[in-house]
A = this chain, B = another copy of it.
Amino acid sequence: FTAAFHGVMQLDTAKYFQDDHLPTAVTVRDLNGGANFRRARLGVDGKAFGVFDYNILLDVGGSGAEDAGRIQDLWIQYSGLKPWRFRIGAFAPSTGLEDSASTNSSLFAERPAVSDLTRGLAGGDTRIGVAAIGNGERWFFSGAYTGALVSSLNSGAAAFNAPTFDEQQGVDLRVAAVPFQGKDWMTHVGATASVIAQPADLGPAAAVRYAVQLRERPELRVDGTRLIDTGAIDTKGLVAYGLELAVQKSSLLVQGEYFDINLERRNPAAGASDPSFSGWYVEGGLLLTGERRRRNIATAAFDGPTVAKPFDLKKGTWGAWELTARYSTLDLNYAERSATVADRVRGGEQDVWALGVNWFPNSAMAFMLDYYQISVDRLNTAGAQIGQDVQALNLRSQFAF
């Protein structure tokens, strides 16, 4: 029996710069700068009886503001049949490259919008499910059958997420491999499928009984507002596909993903076709101090760098420094100008440019200063533009062990 304790602090301090002279419909969305704990975690994991693993992790952080304490991870896993692990409990099943990396080792404070959206469909944090996970040095497979999220009380909602009459049923699959590698370089490819086989039944009284709603924040959550949002769509099922690619050469890592989301309407109105959405991103990081991000074969994703010379004023050592850049786009419009109103989905399109500097004083800490150029193009039901351009500056202060 082993036990390792874990704690995480992620504090975001952000300022939003919004355009002046915005239409009234937009200006009510006055984004709130300030400081919030994005994640605040405490927990323990380890091995039990040699062939089992366990993980208990609580979180009291939040998006927009801090939430009430809740389960973040809570699962047990049989790992006695190498190279496979069989897991049950609450965990985020693997649904893409960015999703599979620890949030303590991301290039930016938040995941790219499309990655964050698709991971939440049938996976994402606190998803209850079972999974089979296997990997070798150069291959990875994860298959999960998933249900609902853990009930929680978050600061942006009036109450607990309501219990559903029948919980959502879904599937998450991911395969990844390292097809080519050399002494100081490697390539990573992968593919993901995320399926909502049965949307949650919200009951006969719900306005949209089998609602699926695609929406996303602008890759920064000090303000919790989601700028793009399809609204609730009565849904029979949903399938999302993703492709991932990464190349690492010495201290440079470049990675990108593309996702395609296809939704099947339930009892569609006349003229309403099944909508599809898509998005992609490319991001990269260059470690100026010579370290490199490590590919973790157990997750098929990249961990943060091991800092060669931890910051210490007395020794005159300054930790690791990294430059980062990202372009990300997510299009939640579908037939948004269709003559048939029932066919339209005016969720909006969001493009984000981000540039950043990461300072890692040591392997447990990070300070990430990022600049965001966020552009949202979105129509309301009346056809008026309710998108906007926002710039933002954020400092993420992070400690994780």
**A361 within 8 Å of B by Cβ?**
yes
**A56 within 8 Å of B by Cβ?**
yes
Asked, given contacts A48-B362, A74-B9, A167-B35, whether A151 binds B62 with beta carbons under 8 Å apart, the answer is yes
Contact partners of A49 in chain B: CB under 8 A: 310-312, 361-362, 364-365
Contact partners of A51 in chain B: CB under 8 A: 311-314
Query: Which single member of B54, B128, B158, B203 contacts A7 (CB below 8 Å)?
Result: B54
Contact partners of A65 in chain B: CB under 8 A: 151, 160-161, 163
Asked whether B71 lies within 8 Å of A40 as measured between CB atoms, the reply is: yes
Asked whether A71 lies within 8 Å of B37 as measured between CB atoms, the reply is: yes
> How far apart are the CA atoms of A350 and B89 in the complex, in Å?
31
Contact partners of A89 in chain B: CB under 8 A: 9, 11, 397
**A243 within 8 Å of B by Cβ?**
no
> How far apart are the CA atoms of A195 and B401 in the complex, in Å?
35
Contact partners of A158 in chain B: CB under 8 A: 159
Contact partners of A43 in chain B: CB under 8 A: 42
Asked whether B71 lies within 8 Å of A60 as measured between CB atoms, the reply is: yes
> How far apart are the CA atoms of A284 and B195 in the complex, in Å?
43
Asked whether A68 lies within 8 Å of B32 as measured between CB atoms, the reply is: no
Query: Which single member of B9, B81, B88 contacts A397 (CB below 8 Å)?
Result: B88
Asked whether B52 lies within 8 Å of A40 as measured between CB atoms, the reply is: no
* Copies in the assembly, this chain: 3
Q: Across the two chains, which residue of chain B brings its CB closest to A363?
A: B49
Distance between A70 CB and nearest chain B CB, rounded to angstroms: 6
Asked whether B70 lies within 8 Å of A9 as measured between CB atoms, the reply is: no
Instruction: Produce 1/0 per residue, A69-107, CB < 8 A to B.
Output: 111001110101100000011100000000000000000
Q: Across the two chains, which residue of chain B brings its CB closest to A155?
A: B160
Instruction: Produce 1/0 per residue, A31-71, CB < 8 A to B.
Output: 01111110010111000111110101010111011111111
Contact partners of A40 in chain B: CB under 8 A: 56, 71, 74
**A381 within 8 Å of B by Cβ?**
no
Distance between A205 CB and nearest chain B CB, rounded to angstroms: 10
Asked whether A153 lies within 8 Å of B37 as measured between CB atoms, the reply is: no
Asked, given contacts A65-B160, A66-B150, A158-B159, whether A58 binds B56 with beta carbons under 8 Å apart, the answer is no
Q: Across the two chains, which residue of chain B brings its CB closest to A398?
A: B76
> How far apart are the CA atoms of A85 and B65 in the complex, in Å?
27
Asked whether A362 lies within 8 Å of B52 as measured between CB atoms, the reply is: yes
Contact partners of A155 in chain B: CB under 8 A: 151, 153, 160, 163
Contact partners of A37 in chain B: CB under 8 A: 71, 74, 90, 128, 150
Asked, given contacts A151-B155, A164-B34, whether A401 binds B1 with beta carbons under 8 Å apart, the answer is yes
Asked whether A48 lies within 8 Å of B401 as measured between CB atoms, the reply is: yes
Query: Which single member of B33, B52, B74, B364 contacts A167 (CB below 8 Å)?
Result: B33
Q: Across the two chains, which residue of chain B brings its CB closest to A50?
A: B312
Contact partners of A33 in chain B: CB under 8 A: 166-167
Asked whether A34 lies within 8 Å of B364 as measured between CB atoms, the reply is: no
Asked whether B313 lies within 8 Å of A64 as measured between CB atoms, the reply is: no
Distance between A189 CB and nearest chain B CB, rounded to angstroms: 32
Query: Which single member of B148, B151, B313 contacts A81 (CB below 8 Å)?
Result: B313
Distance between A388 CB and nearest chain B CB, rounded to angstroms: 16
Question: Which residues of A139-172 are within 8 A (CB) of B?
Answer: 147-148, 150-153, 155, 158-161, 163-167
> How far apart are the CA atoms of A399 and B37 in the complex, in Å?
29
Q: Across the two chains, which residue of chain B brings its CB closest to A148?
A: B34
Contact partners of A274 in chain B: CB under 8 A: none
> How far apart are the CA atoms of A231 and B282 in the complex, in Å?
52
Q: Show 20 A/B contacts (Cβ-Cβ < 8 Å), sorted by A.
A: A7-B44, A7-B56, A30-B165, A34-B147, A34-B164, A35-B128, A35-B148, A49-B311, A49-B364, A51-B314, A65-B151, A65-B163, A66-B151, A68-B70, A68-B152, A76-B399, A80-B311, A80-B313, A153-B153, A158-B159
